[in-house]
Amino acid sequence: MSELSILGLKELDAALQELPAKLEKNILRGAMRAGAKVMLDAARQQVPVRTGALRDSLTVRSGYQRGRVTGTVRAGNSKVYYAHMVEFGTAKHFIKPKTARSLFIAGLFRDGVDHPGARGRPFMRPAFDASAPAAIEAMAEYLRERIPKEFAKAGL
């Protein structure tokens, strides 16, 4: 488990209460995105590279739903479906053909094969653990720059 502590949340909350809700939402989404980008960079450095497709599939998203601002670093897409298998590994399993009668492996037809499994090669969790303090600092820096600008625009 990772534990993070952030100082100054009461002061931040008081400043945000003075801003309109839409601005607050946008400012917090921007801050979450700034922090997530730091984690994205760390994950890109940690990901095992074979073809580069997994590294290229890493993306950042930020959102706002039901009063909650989120920032997410995602691995994988429709073509890179195996991101979780790289992160966590796979168990020993039997592979059999889905539509054909047999598999063609190493020049031989087979009814199925025993796969020994694969060890995990974590890259997301170590990236999170290593970059969490830097991500919080990036969020704080974003807020330090953006909040005064919004107060000035709003005439506060």
Contact 39, 128 (CB under 8 A): yes
- For 78-109, what is each residue's pLDDT tens digit? 999 999 999 999 999 999 998 888 888 888 89
Dihedrals phi, psi of 116, to nearest 5 degrees: -75, -5
> Which pTM value belongs to this model?
0.76
Residue 155: pLDDT above 60? yes
d(CA 109, CA 127): 42
